[in-house]
Structure 1
């Protein structure tokens, strides 16, 4: 089935957005549409997979720090793939929801859903840094320019 990586990505986005919006009120129609679609996808997958440990782990990793390990992502993809292969109705529902989410996220075949240290990109993405800057979908600490070697913890010149 096409789009299983997207399913895992959207499930991560659902968990990130859920954690981020606690105590916040959504104020844009697009957020409402996207959140509704992510909720439908989450509910569909949970209804099919039940208490699969991969889903519980995904939600726990997002809650703990916002990052989902590659292993957990693969486990979610594998669990959804297995369910989709054995249930055509589930597979068709996933395809329909993915198409709906792609449209809500910014159009056919292209869109971005971002949260704290997580992003789902459908379509092409280009990240560019200019003039001594840094650019990435996510990155850790970055130091630009020369460091002062006389500061503690740095080597002396």
Structure 2
């Protein structure tokens, strides 16, 4: 699908569900990865994520289009166009738009724990992702001295403070 076809699609959805014309530009944006679309308040244009279309198809993208058109029409009518506004929530429910787009799984994973601080006195362990100077800190339980241990194997699903 090309931008020209998307433009026609958005115009058709606008007339069908909102009974108002869409008079600005709608384009695909291949850089959008964590959001399904964007509405620009100054230019009134709409960007739709190409990755959402590829991954989930036309049905999911139509819900995203409805979401962005809610922003568009409410903003032009000088009503509550933000996510938290009652006007927006009501209109979104009426037209069947989606509040959140589906995740593409493209977010970066957090770094795993690479360091451990151990209390010399009581043995409490604190896992850390970044290296830190143990001389500047003390144990949160007993105020004892800390010792830095670099972990050879990467710990992933461990709580931040071990008992």
Q: Greater strand percent: which structure?
A: 2
TM over 0.5: no
Larger radius of gyration: 2
Shorter-chain TM range is under 0.3
Using structure 1 for the length normalisation, give the TM-score: 0.24
- With CA pairs under 8 Å and 6+ residues apart, which has the higher RCO, 1 or 2? 1
